Amino acid sequence: MLRNKKLIPAEHRKYLRLDTVLPVQFRLEGDAEEIFISAWLQGFTNNIGRGGICLAINNLDERFFDLLAQKKVKLSLEIDLPVSRKPICAKASVVWAKEIFGDKHQYLVGIHYEQILASQNSRLMRYVWVKKLFVPVVLALVLILGFGLGINSYLSFKLTRHNKLLIEKLGEVLEASSTAKQKVEEVVVQRQYFQAKLKALQEQIAQVESQKASIEAGDLKQIQQLSETISTLAQEKLDLEGKLVLVQQKENRASQELILLDKQKLVLEKANFDKMYQWLKIHQNNRTGLVASFEGDKEIANWSFTYDLALLVQAYAYFGDFDRARKILDFFANEAKRENGWFLNAYYVDDGSPAEFVMHAGPNLWLGLAIMQYTHFTQDRAYLGLAQSIAETMLYLQKQDPSGGLRGGPQVSWYSTEHNLDAYAFFKALAEVTQKPLYAAAAEKTLSWIVNNTYNSKDLPVKRGKGDSTIATDTYAWSIAAVGPEKLLELGMNPDQILEFVEENCSVEVNFKHPDAPQTVKIKGFDFAPQRHTARGGVVSSEWTAQMVVSYKIMEEFYLKQGDPVKSASYGNKAAVYLSELGKMIISSASPSGQGEGCLPYATQDQVDTGHGWSTPQGSHTGSVSGTTYTLFAYHGFNPLALKE
Dist. CA 139–CA 136, nearest whole Å: 5
What integer is the mean pLDDT of 5-23?
57
**Amino acid identity of 548?**
M
Residue with more model confidence, 533 or 501: 501
pLDDT for position 148: 45
Average pLDDT over residues 362-370: 97
* CB neighbours of residue 333 within 10 Å: 15
The fold of 4-146 is Thrombin, subunit H (2.40.10)
Mean predicted confidence (pLDDT) in 39-67: 86
Structurally, what CATH architecture does the domain formed by 283-469 represent? Alpha/alpha barrel (1.50)
Sequence-distant (6+) residues with CB within 8 A of 85 are none
Residue 154: its pLDDT value, please?
47
Nearest to 324 by CA among 274, 361, 278, 284: 284
CA–CA separation, 307 vs 313, rounded Å? 10
CA-wise closest residue to 506 among 474, 459, 549, 480: 474
Sequence-ordered list of residues with C-beta below 8 angstroms from that of 67, at least 6 positions apart, any chain: 28, 36, 73
β-pairing, 354-356 with 346-348? antiparallel
In this predicted structure, the answer to whether residue 398 has a pLDDT above a threshold of 90 is: yes
DSSP 625: H
Positive or negative, the Cα torsion across 615, 617, 621, 627? negative
Please write the tens of the pLDDT for every residue from 431-478. Answer: 999 999 999 999 999 999 999 999 877 778 888 888 888 888 899 999
pLDDT band for 521, please (50, 70, 90 cuts).
confident
**The pTM is what?**
0.67
Residue 10 reports pLDDT greater than 80 = no
Instruction: Encode 193-261 in three state secondary structure.
Output: HHHHHHHHHHHHHHHHHHHHHHCCCCCHHHHHHHHHHHHHHHHHHHHHHHHHHHHHHHHHHHHHHHHHH
